[in-house]
Amino acid sequence: MPTEGVYFRPSGQKTFIPLENNPEVFTSLVHDLGVSPDLGFYDVYSLDDASLLSLVPRPVLALIFITPEEPYYVVRKEDGHAVSPAQLTYDKSGDDEPVLWFQQTIGHACGLMALLHSGSFLDGLLRETTPLKPVERAAALYNNEELEKKHMKAARTGNSQPPGANEDNFFHFISFVKGKDGHLWELEGATDGPLDRGLMREGDDVLSEGALDLAVRRFLKAGNGNVNFSIVALAKKPAE
């Protein structure tokens, strides 16, 4: 039986209430899913102010970036990347992948996908999905009742009134991580696989200037002054 609040579109697609891009919401959800309490999410208030950047523990393991639709589609068009392709061409699986990518088939689950792509997920889910092809991975998430229940619980928290599962959502959640190959990877479930943004400098994390120039700043530039972006960072909690 579906969790209360889950909506099924006329097409039959299961649709969640969107998550708020809020570090407290994200941290609570991943801890609820069993992720180490040593990890947490932190607001990134500025990419240029050193004093504000110093509030984020380093190294940063992943960024979750939320972008409005217009700059999102500008960058996708510049790169020639398909959005919500009718047929996936990406078909890799197994431990040889530099990153683990999930296709999104659940409506309004962009925030959940960003969390999974950040690497902050259960070991059991990792073991289950790593050997699978993308279509089978997507099905494993779609049918995971634990993820559904805990996502919906987290979606009702936060500082703002969440939109209903049947309402439109005009933002996109994207994760940026450093792959096993040392490259910066952009992970979003609506694209045709993970996007390689280039080799990172040795010792850099995903919040370094070099990494930001490879991807995040391109979206900001395409926004042409739009301020409706936000970023949270995944990092190990500092020792008390």
pTM, 2 dp? 0.89
pLDDT band at 116 (very low <50, low <70, confident <90, very high): confident
Give residue 119's pLDDT. 67
Residue 91: CATH number of its domain: 3.40.532.10
Number of domains in the chain: 1
Give residue 57's pLDDT. 97
Tell whether 1 is covered by a domain.
Answer: no
Domain range for 199 is 13-236
Tell whether 115 is covered by a domain.
Answer: yes
Least confident of 17-21, 186-190, 192-196: 17-21
Give residue 137's pLDDT. 93
Mean pLDDT calculated for residue range 183-195:
94
- Lateral strand order in the sheet of 230-236: 39-43, 230-236, 60-68, 171-178, 183-187, 195-199
Tell whether 61 is covered by a domain.
Answer: yes
